[in-house]
Structure 1
Amino acid sequence: MTDLNQAARHAATAETRGKRTFSIVWVVPIVALLIGGWLAYKAISEKGPTITITFVSAEGLEAGKTKIKYRDVEVGEIERITLNEDISRVVVIAKLVKGSEKYLTDKSRFWVVRARIRGGSVSGLGTVLSGAYIAIDPDKTGKLTRTFTGLEVPPVVTLGQPGRHFRLSTDNLGSLDIGAPIYYRQIQVGQVVGYGFGADGREVDIQLFVEAPYHAWVTENTRFWNASGIDVSLNAQGLKVNTQSMVSIFSGGIAFDVPHGTQPGKEAADNAVFRLYPDRASIQEKIYTVRRSWMLLFDQSVRGLSVGAPVELHGIQVGKVVSLDLEYDAAMKDFYVPVIIAIEPERIRVSNGTDPKLSSDEKAEALLKWLVEERGLRAQLKTGSLLTGQLMVNLEFHPAAAKEKLAHRDGYPLVPTMPGSLEQLQESLTKITSRLEKVPFDELSADLRLVLQEARTTLQKIGGFAGTLSSETAPEMQATLVELQQTLETLQGTVGVELQKTLVELQKSVGQDSPLNYNAQKTLEELSLTLRSLRELTSTLEQQPQSIVFGKEKEKETRE
């Protein structure tokens, strides 16, 4: 017990401590934790959306370097570039700035901006030094999405640009391309923004954009035509050359206007559809809706006649050629060329009446029957251009032609045909050649040789008589004059001085040196030259009797 009490006395007294206070050592980690949390929250709250864009190629793109821009303002950056599962396309993963989420819809467009030459203009030259970048054309009217397919060709018109879109339908695209200019009276007012096939695949659909305020000039009666290249026309006024600009010559172009004499009409709506005409002249042609098909049957060559060739009546176009084929008639054992033409009655203006007699098939049939059987309507092939050799169909009335009934073939009225002027000329030449072949030139040359021989003999006799006359007549005439002078001297005393003067003048007129004697000798010389020419002609005909028909043959050149 004593030991226990003693130990108790020596035991230490326990200290009683109060409640612990906050140590300043914890301030630093707590502040760091708060700052880190705030930075993390800020980073998360300010983080923009991550999108995926696919392209055919990643040319010019680099991860961590290539930017995404909108109107030259950076709105994002490429983080990673990979390939898709089938390695057919490039997948670009990019991060955009915060606040761009509402613009990432299925109507937004992305494309790579690099140096390009298109439609006669150069774009993206700034990327030669700075490098390519991805441009965005945002649109918040669509559905939100994070996956996009990039455009391989930059759009010509971006969203929000004032103006109006229109569509054109045509048979072929020609030299037109995206970016091709649109002209209104030779001033550029827009561009072609796209093209593709129509719904049926038979026509090409061209999309174009006309800038404001020029889009107001596109009305319901406006017509568009292909202004590519150079328009050359040759008419009675001479040669005319027209083009919209140098750009349209090389890259193509489209122009529009209202035809002369036509009211503009109301302003065309957005995405209105128009027809693209081949040239400016074609927009002036009226649109005809009524057509009557006739058939022509030719048994001659139709080389130069093509589909679309005009059909004229009195020099005015009333239709065009629709089709032509080659047909073999087994019964007749001969070849024919059936040509289908489309007559447009609306081209014919009717006077002194309101019924054109072509408003129905029955009336058109009756009128054609009367024209063929009573007026002698016939179809001929005629040369439309001497330069190109193109043919056309000419309808004319021939009352003196043999009467023919209006027939039908394959459901078409068959209009009788006649040979054209060229065919008639060839036929006439053929007949003349046939007749010339029947002429007996050998017999004619023999008879002609005999005639010429007799003519030569006769001319020789005439020459001898002329020589005798020249040598014998003059001396006898001189002797007669001497005797006459002697008689005059005898009668001088009785007749008088006047008679003597008269005789002297007579001597001067018929003397050896007189004009009469000189003219007689000159005439004989010319007759001698004529006889020499006749002898040469006779010799030529003996050697070349055919020269009387075909002319004298040229001397052949001496061979070396």
Structure 2
Amino acid sequence: MTEKPSTSAKTQAIKQVSSIWLVPLIAVGIGIWMLFQYMTAQGPQITLKMETAEGIEVGKTEIKALNVKVGVVTKVVLNEDYSSIEVTAQMNKDAARMLKDDTLFWVVKPRIGKSGVSGLDTLLSGAYIQLQPGRSDVAKFDFEVLDVPPVAPPDAKGLRLILTHNEAGKLGVGDPVLYEGFTVGRVEKTTFDTATKKAHYQLFIFEPYDSLIRKRTRFWLTSGVDLQMSAEGFNLKIGSIESLITGGVSFRVPKGRDPGELITKDYSKFRLYNNLKLVRERFFDEYLEYVMMFEESVRGLQPGAPVEYKGIRIGTVQKVPLKLPSYGHGFTNKHIPVLVRIELGRVWDHSDNITLEALKASMTSEFQHGLRATLKTGNLLTGALLVDLDVYPEEKMPKQKEFDGYAVFPTKAGGFAQIQRDITSILKKINNLPVEDTLETLNTTLQTSQQTLRAAESVAKELKGLLAAKDTQAIPGEVRESLQKIQDTLDGYGPNAAPYQNLEQALAEFEQVMVELQPVLRQLNTKPNSLIFTSEKAADPIPAGGQK
């Protein structure tokens, strides 16, 4: 029997996943790996605060450290109150270790500043942000971009100091720090403390010049040209070329002083003086304060003016005036109080070991022997005054011993004031002369003299008639000769005689002089100082229009 072929199909299991799906799986794996690699290669994002976005472009502006790219700007927006710019930057992975609390950022672009010309290479490549790595252990991701490059990096070798001054704007960032005219540092930062109301200037002194900073080192402002006009005359100083353009600050230990110990601590504070003269005066910190009461004008006397004895400075004027006229006294008080200092170091050398008490006792003794203060012109060109001391044995000790808590230093009127006072006294005496009574007496005398001359003339006429008579001619010749002499004598007093004419001319001239003297006496009575100072020039007359 023949077998029939089977008509049922054979079944076989088919695989559910084709090998073709390996391709997208591999692609996804590669994508995930690339994403992982990208994420692990990226560094942190940082935020930079800037005053302006000038020269900053998203995706183009790079962040560099030592001219190596370590990041790029990814976003630039205004802050919430529109007061500044917030820049977001994506940093490289290796740059994360540079982002510390003391890391610094600034924009590199073409600059012309106090330290020279920089950033010229950015004219073609464009501006970029420079990163200066920090050394702190504290990480940070928000920074403020500096307006100018820093003077020195945080790890630079040297010494940082803080100078204080009552006014801001005395120094700027980058100004030189000079020692004997040589640049040894720079000004790093300027701030103003609102609590103490003082300006702070941070300096960086480069190594090895930091060894010049001692405890008694003094700092003062240096300008290119220092011209001073005072009671002591003219003083002109010219600094270095850089200080001539930008100014700066100088320092040193004053000559003849102990420098003190070496300063090694950063941010030690020192006072900033306006000039070297104030530095020198600062060492005269032991002094006696006195009030000088002057009657004459103190115009031209300024604080800082010298107090001298025979040309040797022994003190300084402190305040002019000490107090203004107050209610109850007012301007009727003729004295102007001036506060002065008699400085111990100027009177005696420090090596003498003289105390202030000894100086005070010595000054009191000198007052009793006639030591007095006067105002004296120190500079004819500027009109500056100084206080000059001298001994006047004839002067008596004043009654006033104190004023407003200060001991009074006896004074005496100055040279010009004394001359003016003497002239005024003389003019007052002249003005008090009885000129009108004298003129009346002279007039009376002239009238009496005229009557006497008329009587003599009458007698002469009678004698002449008597001599012409025949009876008189019969008198012996001797008697006649005697009468003739009498006649000649009387004729000498007649109207045509020389003595009569001379007397009459003298009286007329005297009367003319007195008439001309009247305006002068009135002028002296009105303005006693007109003998010294010329009167004001009268205005030119203006012709009036004629009548039509």
Fold match (TM-score > 0.5):
yes
C-alpha separation between the residues in 1 aligned to 2:430 and 2:410?
A: 33
Given that residues 327 and 338 in structure 1 are in contact (C-alpha distance below 8 angstroms), is that contact kept between their aligned partners in structure 2? no
Question: What per-residue deviation string (whole Å, max 9, x for no partner) do you get for residues 19-70 of structure 1?
Answer: 9699764554344334323222211111111111122221221111111122
Q: Does 1:208 align with 2:203?
A: yes
Given that residues 102 and 154 in structure 2 are in contact (C-alpha distance below 8 angstroms), is that contact kept between their aligned partners in structure 1? no
What letter corresponds to residue 46 of structure 1 in structure 2?
A
Given that residues 63 and 71 in structure 2 are in contact (C-alpha distance below 8 angstroms), is that contact kept between their aligned partners in structure 1? yes
- Judging changes above 3 Å, is the alpha-carbon distance between structure 1 residues 238 and 368 closer, same or farther for their aligned structure 2 residues? closer
Q: How far is 1:241 from its partner?
A: 4.0
Question: What per-residue deviation string (whole Å, max 9, x for no partner) do you get for residues 110-147 of structure 1?
Answer: 22222333326333333333222222222140522222
In the alignment, what sits opposite 1:230? 225
- Judging changes above 3 Å, is the alpha-carbon distance between structure 1 residues 137 and 222 closer, same or farther for their aligned structure 2 residues? same
C-alpha separation between the residues in 2 aligned to 1:413 and 1:238?
A: 31
In the alignment, what sits opposite 2:270? 274
Say what the alpha-carbon RMSD is for the aligned residues.
4.3
In the alignment, what sits opposite 2:101? 106
Given that residues 219 and 250 in structure 2 are in contact (C-alpha distance below 8 angstroms), is that contact kept between their aligned partners in structure 1? yes
Task: Single out whichever of 407-416 and 91-100 deviates more from structure 2.
Answer: 407-416
Given that residues 76 and 96 in structure 1 are in contact (C-alpha distance below 8 angstroms), is that contact kept between their aligned partners in structure 2? yes
C-alpha separation between the residues in 2 aligned to 1:384 and 1:140?
A: 59
Q: Does 1:376 align with 2:357?
A: no
Q: Does 1:305 align with 2:304?
A: no
What residue ranges of structure 1 are gaps of 5+ in the alignment?
A: 1-5, 448-539, 551-560
The two structures have a TM-score, normalised by structure 2, of 0.71
- How many residues align? The count is 459
What letter corresponds to residue 319 of structure 1 in structure 2?
G
C-alpha separation between the residues in 1 aligned to 2:403 and 2:228?
A: 39
Task: Single out whichever of 395-404 and 91-100 deviates more from structure 2.
Answer: 395-404
Instruction: Pick the structure with greater CA Rg.
Output: 1
- Judging changes above 3 Å, is the alpha-carbon distance between structure 1 residues 405 and 429 closer, same or farther for their aligned structure 2 residues? closer
- Judging changes above 3 Å, is the alpha-carbon distance between structure 1 residues 43 and 10 closer, same or farther for their aligned structure 2 residues? same
- Judging changes above 3 Å, is the alpha-carbon distance between structure 1 residues 69 and 433 closer, same or farther for their aligned structure 2 residues? farther
Given that residues 43 and 95 in structure 2 are in contact (C-alpha distance below 8 angstroms), is that contact kept between their aligned partners in structure 1? yes
What letter corresponds to residue 230 of structure 1 in structure 2?
V
Question: What per-residue deviation string (whole Å, max 9, x for no partner) do you get for residues 148-187 of structure 1?
Answer: 2222343232333332211212233455321111222222
Given that residues 44 and 96 in structure 2 are in contact (C-alpha distance below 8 angstroms), is that contact kept between their aligned partners in structure 1? yes
C-alpha separation between the residues in 1 aligned to 2:374 and 2:234?
A: 29
Q: How far is 1:406 from its partner?
A: 5.6
% identical aligned pairs: 35
**1:142-221 superposed matches below 5 A:** 142-173=137-168, 175-198=170-193, 200-221=195-216
Q: Does 1:334 align with 2:332?
A: yes
Given candidates 288, 295, 305, the residue that maps to 2:291 is 295
The two structures have a TM-score, normalised by structure 1, of 0.70
In the alignment, what sits opposite 1:43? 38
What letter corresponds to residue 304 of structure 1 in structure 2?
G
In the alignment, what sits opposite 1:495? none
Q: Does 1:92 align with 2:90?
A: no
Classify the secondary structure of the residue corresponding to 2:43: coil
Task: Single out whichever of 414-423 and 194-203 deviates more from structure 2.
Answer: 194-203
Q: How far is 1:209 from its partner?
A: 1.3
Question: What per-residue deviation string (whole Å, max 9, x for no partner) do you get for residues 514-544 of structure 1?
Answer: xxxxxxxxxxxxxxxxxxxxxxxxxx99999
Q: Does 1:122 align with 2:107?
A: no
Q: Does 1:411 align with 2:405?
A: yes
Classify the secondary structure of the residue corresponding to 2:28: helix
- Judging changes above 3 Å, is the alpha-carbon distance between structure 1 residues 418 and 174 closer, same or farther for their aligned structure 2 residues? farther
Q: Does 1:137 align with 2:132?
A: yes
C-alpha separation between the residues in 2 aligned to 1:350 and 1:106?
A: 53
Given that residues 107 and 142 in structure 1 are in contact (C-alpha distance below 8 angstroms), is that contact kept between their aligned partners in structure 2? no
What residue ranges of structure 2 are gaps of 5+ in the alignment?
A: 443-508, 521-530, 532-548
C-alpha separation between the residues in 1 aligned to 2:181 and 2:168?
A: 21
C-alpha separation between the residues in 1 aligned to 2:76 and 2:349?
A: 74
Q: How far is 1:104 from its partner?
A: 1.6
Q: How far is 1:328 from its partner?
A: 4.6
Task: Single out whichever of 52-61 and 274-283 deviates more from structure 2.
Answer: 274-283
In the alignment, what sits opposite 2:472? none
Q: How far is 1:441 from its partner?
A: 10
- Judging changes above 3 Å, is the alpha-carbon distance between structure 1 residues 417 and 238 closer, same or farther for their aligned structure 2 residues? closer
Q: How far is 1:377 from its partner?
A: 2.7
Q: How far is 1:302 from its partner?
A: 0.7
C-alpha separation between the residues in 2 aligned to 1:438 and 1:83?
A: 88
Q: Does 1:81 align with 2:76?
A: yes
Given that residues 170 and 205 in structure 1 are in contact (C-alpha distance below 8 angstroms), is that contact kept between their aligned partners in structure 2? yes
What letter corresponds to residue 423 of structure 1 in structure 2?
A
- Judging changes above 3 Å, is the alpha-carbon distance between structure 1 residues 441 and 291 closer, same or farther for their aligned structure 2 residues? same
